Structure 1
Amino acid sequence: MRYKKYMVTLPSILDNDFYKFTMQQCVVKLFPKAKARYRFINRGRHRFPPGFAAALRASVETMAGLKLSSGEKRWLCQVCPYFDPVYLDFLQGYRYDPSEVRIEQEGEEVHVFIEGYWYRTILWEVPLLCLISENFYALQNGQRESDETVVAKTKQKIEGYAKMGVTVAEFGTRRRHSFHVHDLVVKTLKAHGSPFVGTSNVHLARVHQTKPIGTHAHEWFMFHAAKYGFKMANTMALEHWIDVYRGDLGIALSDTFTTDEFFEIFDKKFARLFDGVRHDSGDPLVFADKTINHYKSLGIDPLSKTIIFSDSLNYDRVQTIAEHCNGRIGISFGIGTNFTNDVGLKPMNIVIKMTEAMPESEAWTPVVKLSDEPMKHTGDEASIALAKAALQIN
């Protein structure tokens, strides 16, 4: 299948991951004067074709016209009762400001930077990654598999998960091949799979009448480290989440400053209030054992809690994890690129991460992520060393 060069655009302001909106409501409520900086990280060292920056800029400029429709607002009111009317009114008035995004190209390298008030810039990450990915494939004129093949492969996967007896969600917005493929995948999952429980993409959840899924991302904890210090970051991030959502959206992300550090503060209060935790880096089997043992140490039945696994999953990895956890703790799986960019081309490995935060009336402060997988650490060397020293991490 051959592609012509065309303008890559997004269909809706809701074409974004759910956790961006859930975090945005918190930022609007708690940190309205905070600012943030982000940058694009090309983990896969992909080589960008000539003219890529111009094509991406053109796509970004079109985003200024996106706005929440009345129908979308009514739908959010119905399916997300924890979004209060003030936030939904704010979201209806929100417009992307392309001046918050800087795009540069030097040969085959592309650099993307975002800066502005956090309550505004928080929505840029996922759509920008979508546009980078789709523009990359469109400009290369790559030949992907047919729609029929994409549907057949997706159907085969969801039927396999059904036989395995696990539930799965689609988490592939950021590195999808294209919106068309993404839409096709979610449509197929909804039509053919009882194990399918929802998607992280809010627009596609609405279109295909399924559940939007997500809570918070690493940047939530990274900002709290800039505001309150590394030792208090996890605690304050969870406390603030509870303050806003009062028991809803109860899956906690554990690996911003390593899982071991997280479990030091994940006491009985948090462990009972949160429905479970999400795994996003490191050995999933080791993580499962640590989580199960931690709940047991607090006198909590692990089977009353859930681990959401979401790190680079495919069928074989899911099967291995499911066999390891069966009968020991509740599990579910968020599958991303293997759903939305399994089209016969090399998937992109790209991320956008917060690099600095400016809490209210304070200076710009570098932020870091200390993943359970060292290759996923983000931040400058000095800041990473400072975080490790503060948290006594080797």
Structure 2
Amino acid sequence: MKGLSIISSLLDNDFYKFTMQNAIIKLFPYAKARYEFINRGKHSFPKNFSEKLKECLKQMSYLRLSNEEKNFLEKSCPYFDYEYLNFLKNYQYNPKEVCITQYGENIKIYIEGLWNRIILWEVPLMAVISELYYKLTGAEPISDKKIILLTKEKLNRYKKLNVKIGEYGTRRRFSYKIQKLVVKVLKKGGGSLFMGTSNVHLSNFFSTKPLGTHGHEWIMFHAAKYGFSIADRIAMENWLNVYRNNIGVALSDTYTSSIFFQNFNQKLSNIFNGIRHDSGDPILFIKKTIDHYKKFKINPLKKEIIFSDNLNPNKVAYISSFCKKKINPIFGIGTNFTNDVGVPSMNIVIKMVKATPKKDWVSVVKLSNVNEKSTGDKNMIFLAKKILHLF
């Protein structure tokens, strides 16, 4: 296997990692965090996988933000100030922040350090794990020609539905090459329905808008610092303190949507452009969202729901049909675009498990709307559910 440089750009990452990094630098510059790899799919890793993975990460340490990439960020993200762009220009991955061990067919990975530094590891690390796994296990995808045809077929279905779509598939892609091929097809044939990609490097390459706001870890940290009950609200207010209403989509399921809506007060409901749905029954969520907006006399047709939970054409058709003339849906499609290539896709995640909101380490948890997507220390999950009356 020649060369182990799977990630070739510092911007080969999801946009929300950079928006969160900027906010962390502004508000929590001394906070530390710890992330851990979770092998949900119980995948068996080949011999010496950990050593090959370490080689890939070593190659990532040579990446730097180019002047051209910096110019792209300045133009497409005017809310990124000089301070942050200068930080990013001097940033480089440090493989010492990532601890990798292998026991037989199992690998353990954790990332630890200053939160504003290590936040960039999660997405590209997952992309490397995925692509390296397929390379070392000899997995053969369908041909590029078939991938192009399949992507066009999906795109045609989305066109008939007249829905807006974005590509969100970096973390579990089969390979960088296939993700790039898919985005090329979407860019060429998607017209105004293709909103762009969450991958900042590919956004630059294809001259599209980078998509994303913030992830669950942003709210998880706030829960550790301010408490579970008000974490959603404080996290949203802090987001507005940094970005005003420039990147205004709220994430709804870190501590279940019922708790989120309690925190999503009239002011926040008006300011944020919409809400992201990432777990649970989408139809039930649509109904709750519409009722919530109407309670504050807000027209739901002026708001958006960004759906991002394991989407495919059939699911998109089902959701969009229910949304019609009620609220505006946008669909962030990930694995179904970048890893629908004739081999089983990996079921892996990397999640924050601890943070230092003050001086000491505190376990952080995510509850989600479905138990399978909850993460963190079992005792802390129990405590969170007790505090939030979720039993």
Could you tell me which residue of structure 1 aligns to residue 22 of structure 2? 25
Question: Which runs of at least 4 in structure 1 moved beyond 4 Å after TM superposition?
Answer: none
- Normalising by the residue count of structure 1, what TM-score does the alignment of the two structures yield? 0.98
Could you tell me which residue of structure 2 aligns to residue 83 of structure 1? 80
Could you tell me which residue of structure 1 aligns to residue 278 of structure 2? 280
Could you tell me which residue of structure 1 aligns to residue 189 of structure 2? 192
Question: Which amino acid in the other structure matches residue 116 of structure 1?
Answer: G
Could you tell me which residue of structure 2 aligns to residue 221 of structure 1? 219
Could you tell me which residue of structure 2 aligns to residue 342 of structure 1? 340
C-alpha deviations, 1:341-385, integer Å up to 9, x for none? Answer: 01100001111000000124x210000001001111101110001
Unaligned runs of 5+ in 1: none
Could you tell me which residue of structure 2 aligns to residue 262 of structure 1? 260
Deviation at 1:8, TM superposition (A): 4.0
Could you tell me which residue of structure 2 aligns to residue 66 of structure 1? 63
Question: What SS class does the counterpart of residue 170 from structure 2 fall into?
Answer: coil
**Partner residue of 1:116 out of 91, 108, 113:** 113
Question: What SS class does the counterpart of residue 65 from structure 1 fall into?
Answer: coil
Question: What SS class does the counterpart of residue 35 from structure 2 fall into?
Answer: strand
After superposition, where does 1:273-312 map in structure 2 within 5 Å?
273-312=271-310
Question: What SS class does the counterpart of residue 318 from structure 2 fall into?
Answer: helix
Question: Which amino acid in the other structure matches residue 184 of structure 2?
Answer: K
Deviation at 1:232, TM superposition (A): 2.1
Could you tell me which residue of structure 2 aligns to residue 12 of structure 1? 9
After superposition, where does 1:32-43 map in structure 2 within 5 Å?
32-43=29-40
Deviation at 1:235, TM superposition (A): 1.3
CA contact (8 A) 1:5 1:138 kept: no
Deviation at 1:61, TM superposition (A): 0.8
Question: What SS class does the counterpart of residue 230 from structure 2 fall into?
Answer: helix
Is structure 2 residue 369 aligned with structure 1 residue 376?
Answer: no
Distance (Å, rounded) in 2 between the aligned partners of 1:271 and 1:299: 10
Question: Which amino acid in the other structure matches residue 171 of structure 1?
Answer: Y
C-alpha deviations, 1:219-253, integer Å up to 9, x for none? Answer: 00000011111122111101100000011110000
Distance (Å, rounded) in 2 between the aligned partners of 1:75 and 1:165: 30
Unaligned runs of 5+ in 2: none
Distance (Å, rounded) in 2 between the aligned partners of 1:8 and 1:151: 25
Deviation at 1:9, TM superposition (A): 2.1
After superposition, where does 1:171-186 map in structure 2 within 5 Å?
171-186=168-183
Deviation at 1:265, TM superposition (A): 1.1
CA contact (8 A) 1:8 1:131 kept: no
Could you tell me which residue of structure 2 aligns to residue 147 of structure 1? 144
C-alpha deviations, 1:264-311, integer Å up to 9, x for none? Answer: 010110000100000000011111111011111111010010000000
Distance (Å, rounded) in 2 between the aligned partners of 1:68 and 1:283: 40
Distance (Å, rounded) in 2 between the aligned partners of 1:154 and 1:91: 34
Question: What SS class does the counterpart of residue 11 from structure 1 fall into?
Answer: coil
Question: What SS class does the counterpart of residue 353 from structure 2 fall into?
Answer: strand
Deviation at 1:6, TM superposition (A): 4.7
Distance (Å, rounded) in 2 between the aligned partners of 1:8 and 1:67: 14
CA contact (8 A) 2:123 2:171 kept: yes
% same residue = 53
Distance (Å, rounded) in 2 between the aligned partners of 1:46 and 1:70: 40
C-alpha deviations, 1:34-92, integer Å up to 9, x for none? Answer: 00000001111111111111111110111111110111001100010111111001100
Question: Which amino acid in the other structure matches residue 7 of structure 2?
Answer: L
Question: Which amino acid in the other structure matches residue 118 of structure 1?
Answer: W
Question: What SS class does the counterpart of residue 247 from structure 1 fall into?
Answer: coil
Could you tell me which residue of structure 2 aligns to residue 240 of structure 1? 238
- Normalising by the residue count of structure 2, what TM-score does the alignment of the two structures yield? 0.99
Deviation at 1:127, TM superposition (A): 0.6
Deviation at 1:5, TM superposition (A): 6.2
Distance (Å, rounded) in 1 between the aligned partners of 2:305 and 2:188: 26
Structure 1's 66 and 178: CA in aligned 2 closer, same or farther, altered over 3 A? same
Question: Which amino acid in the other structure matches residue 255 of structure 2?
Answer: F
